């Protein structure tokens, strides 16, 4: 991918979503390759006119149309329906997170929001039974080194007892008090994938989606578009006061400010300026520079770690966070290693990551000096 860097792709994608696109973008194989990897392809493809689609088709390995998107979505929808029925029969309350839980309530057609796995959240007291249902009833097989991940064919089923992943990096529990109980307390009965399901209120789900996007350093544009559509729904239903209460209660003002600022500026999300003013965090010179780069469509290396460090309440918690991040416990090291010799592969991976971090830090230092 030589013609497009990620920031160029993101800028062009946001322009296309607003009805503006240059012909050279339509001809770019790199742009459409980025879009497919980013799960934005169906959304961008259906935004084109028939004439524009004819320009794009020669850039694609396989011709695309809505039927292909719908077929894959139906397969995941059926798998999700099986999961919902199985846990309902076992009397285990669950909440679907992301995937179908986002695509059906927010998108005009669910195939516009591709997803490849099924994420469910439940209370820790049901953990043993939940694993038995996954294996014995649904016939998903457990994955080595990932005790909460199961797979059937190419569809992963990811079990969660913590919405933010505090079982992986324990220091994260000091970032936000958001807990599984909050999801169930602010959920109402509805339907997903044609089955009875719990639908979580925007008061919880919007701050959570902002946290999740930051957790992955806002690497995927589709996560930000989810937030843009949810912000539109919140505006239409007049829920901003309740959502603001959630952001403050869960101490997630910073990720919400970053995400909502981006979708307001680049995706026409109707976020009131007074909401952004009330959640705007105090930023030093370095963070202001980082925020400016983020708003210019740049994907910033290790952005999550840098902002999470700023969100922790004390120096002691920051040290705990960085220790766990750099050298986590054995179970996580095995996952980072990805098989083979855990010690050798983990160290090798960490050396590469540290080298990348130092190079990124050097470049940023040069930019700050120039500024």
Asked if residue 3 has pLDDT above 50, the reply is no
Per-residue pLDDT averaged across 166-188, rounded? 89
The domain limits of the chain are 6-64, 65-200, 206-314, 327-370
Task: Please tell me which residue, 100 or 187, carries the higher pLDDT value.
Answer: 187
Predicted local confidence at residue 134, as pLDDT: 95
Predicted local confidence at residue 325, as pLDDT: 79
Least confident interval from 241-245, 254-258, 317-321, 358-362 = 358-362
Asked if residue 142 has pLDDT above 70, the reply is yes
Task: Please tell me which residue, 331 or 36, carries the higher pLDDT value.
Answer: 36
Percent of the chain with pLDDT over 90: 56
The mean pLDDT value of the chain amounts to 87
Q: Binning pLDDT at 50, 70 and 90, where does residue 2 land? A: very low
| pLDDT 10s digits, 323-352 | 887 777 666 666 655 665 656 666 776 677
| pLDDT 10s digits, 280-316 | 999 998 899 999 999 999 988 889 999 999 999 999 9
Predicted local confidence at residue 90, as pLDDT: 96
| pLDDT 10s digits, 180-203 | 999 999 999 999 999 999 999 999
Task: Please tell me which residue, 134 or 61, carries the higher pLDDT value.
Answer: 134
Asked if residue 160 has pLDDT above 90, the reply is yes
- What residues contact 274, with CB distance under 8 A and at least 6 apart? none
| pLDDT 10s digits, 57-81 | 887 766 566 677 788 888 999 999 9
Q: Binning pLDDT at 50, 70 and 90, where does residue 5 land? A: low
Per-residue pLDDT averaged across 196-214, rounded? 96
H, E, C per residue of the chain = CCCCCHHHHHHHHHHHHCCCCCHHHHCCHHHHHHHHHCCCHHHHHCCCCHHHHHHHHHHCCCCCCHHHHHHHHHHHHHHHHHHHHHHHHCCCCCEEECCHHHHHHHCCCHHHCCCCCEEEECCHHHHHHHHHHHHHHCCCEEECCEEEEEEECCEEEEEECCCCCCCCCHHHHHCCCCCHHHHHHCEEEEEECCEEEEEECHHHHHHHHHHHHHHCCCCCHHHHHHHHHHHHHHHHHCCHHHHHHHHHHCCCHHHHHHHHHHHHHHCCCCCCHHHHHHHCCCCCHHHHHHHHHHHCCCCCCCHHHHHHHHHCCCHHHHHHHHHHHHCCCHHHHHHHHCCCCHHHHHHHHHHHHHHHHHHHHHHHHHHHHHC
Predicted local confidence at residue 1, as pLDDT: 40
Percent of the chain with pLDDT over 70: 86
Predicted local confidence at residue 271, as pLDDT: 96
Asked if residue 318 has pLDDT above 60, the reply is yes
Predicted local confidence at residue 246, as pLDDT: 97
CATH code at 65-200: 3.30.460
Task: Please tell me which residue, 98 or 310, carries the higher pLDDT value.
Answer: 310
Asked if residue 245 has pLDDT above 90, the reply is yes
């Amino acid at each position: 991918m030589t013609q497009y860097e990620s920031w160029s792709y993101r800028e062009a994608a946001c322009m296309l979503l607003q009805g503006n696109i240059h012909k050279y973008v339509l001809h770019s194989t790199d742009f459409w390759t980025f879009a497919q990897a980013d799960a934005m392809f169906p959304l961008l493809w259906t935004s084109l006119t028939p004439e524009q689609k004819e320009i794009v088709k020669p850039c694609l390995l396989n011709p695309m149309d809505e039927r292909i998107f719908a077929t894959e979505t139906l397969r995941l929808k059926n798998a999700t329906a099986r999961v919902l029925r199985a846990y309902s029969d076992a009397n285990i309350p669950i909440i679907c997170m992301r995937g179908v839980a986002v695509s059906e309530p927010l998108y005009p057609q669910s195939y516009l929001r591709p997803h490849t796995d099924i994420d469910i959240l439940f209370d820790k007291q049901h953990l043993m039974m939940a694993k038995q249902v996954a294996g014995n009833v649904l016939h998903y097989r457990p994955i080595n080194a990932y005790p909460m991940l199961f797979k059937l064919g190419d569809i992963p089923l990811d079990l969660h007892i913590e919405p933010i992943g505090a079982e992986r990096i324990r220091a994260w529990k000091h970032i936000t008090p958001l807990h599984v109980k909050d999801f169930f307390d602010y959920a109402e009965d509805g339907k997903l994938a044609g089955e009875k399901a719990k639908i979580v209120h925007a008061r919880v789900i919007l701050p959570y989606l902002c946290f999740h996007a930051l957790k992955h350093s806002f690497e995927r544009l589709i996560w930000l578009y989810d937030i843009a559509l949810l912000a539109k729904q919140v505006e239409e239903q007049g829920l901003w006061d309740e959502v603001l209460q959630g952001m403050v209660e869960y101490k997630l003002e910073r990720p919400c400010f970053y995400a909502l600022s981006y979708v307001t500026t680049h995706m026409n999300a109707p976020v009131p300026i007074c909401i952004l003013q009330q959640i705007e965090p105090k930023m030093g010179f370095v963070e202001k520079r980082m925020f400016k780069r983020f708003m210019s469509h740049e994907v910033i290396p290790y952005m999550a770690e840098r902002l999470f460090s700023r969100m922790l309440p004390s120096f002691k918690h920051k040290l705990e966070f960085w220790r766990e991040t750099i050298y986590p416990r054995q179970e996580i090291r095995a996952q980072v290693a990805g098989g083979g010799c855990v010690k050798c592969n983990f160290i090798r991976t960490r050396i590469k990551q540290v080298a990348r971090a130092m190079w990124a830090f050097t470049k940023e230092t040069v930019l700050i000096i120039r500024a």
